[in-house]
Amino acid sequence: MKNVLIVDDEKAFIHSLGDSLEKYSSEFHVLTAENGKAAVDILNSREIDLVVTDLSMPQMNGFELLAYIGKNFPSIPTIVLSVYGTPTVKKKLKALGSLRCFLDKPVDLNTLEAAIKNCLQEAAKGSFVKSISISSFLQLIQMEQKTCILEIYRQGNVQKGFFNFIEGDLYNAVYGDMQGEKAALEIMTWDNVEIRFRDIPLKEHKIKKRINTELISLIMDAARIKDESPKKKKDLHEPEPNDIIEIEILK
């Protein structure tokens, strides 16, 4: 029996969806969680075949949950629900690693039912990409217009970099003594990373803007650097593991 995990803090929606999916009880079992933290507990205790998650939730939101799934359960496909989305955004989100599709909220239950069934069928065929890349996650943050800090860990947490977003606009990146576009390009070339997400209240942000290039252009440049010199990036400084990593906050 397949297990589908629904993650959303709207109890009324969870209840309605549960009732709607009851007719598929012979095909899959539905589990629910009110936030990402509760979802992680379920993921670590049960075999889950599909995750359907909202993005805005308390304690641990959908972005943090996606990062956790990408790191620890990359083979589990996901469906994202959100109040923000356009046809272009949805198309791009489908390419985000294990992210299968994006649905607008309020979501039509019939549409969600069809998406769940299709995802389970495609997962059985092994048609999902196995992880979420840094570039894809950055684009998701931009599309959702989030104000946040992303912490990117590499090589067993020895190396760490940061991205700062204000309303979906990439303001700064930090890696060792590098800031701005140079740091962003370096971090974007990393593989096998762990992504941690922290919301910043918009009214409290005081990050100095050091990046003026469009995100997609930076992603393309990073891909070119990675292709041309995957192991020898002589123009980028590699800090020692004990370097202090800081984000500049303006007084």
Using pLDDT thresholds of 50, 70 and 90, give the confidence band for residue 73.
confident
Q: Which residue has the higher pLDDT, 230 or 167?
A: 167
Q: Which residue has the higher pLDDT, 62 or 247?
A: 62
pTM greater than 0.75:
no
What pLDDT, in 10s, does the model give residues 172-223? 999 999 999 999 999 999 987 888 877 777 666 677 899 999 999 999 999 9
What is the Cα 193 distance to its own chain's centre?
12
Which residues, in sequence order, are bridge partners of residue 163?
150, 173
What pLDDT, in 10s, does the model give residues 137-160? 888 788 878 888 888 988 666 789
The predicted structure's pLDDT at residue 2:
92
Spans of all domains in the chain:
2-124, 134-228
CATH fold of 2-124 reads: Rossmann fold (3.40.50)
- Note if the bond before 106 is cis, omega within 30 degrees: yes
Using pLDDT thresholds of 50, 70 and 90, give the confidence band for residue 243.
very low
Q: What is the mean pLDDT of residues 115-128?
A: 74
Q: Which residue has the higher pLDDT, 203 or 2?
A: 2
Whether 48 contacts 5, CB under 8 Å: yes
Q: Which residue has the higher pLDDT, 86 or 146?
A: 146
What pLDDT, in 10s, does the model give residues 41-59? 999 999 999 999 988 888 8
Closest CA to 98 of 66, 55, 124: 66
Residue 237, both tokens: 């400084």
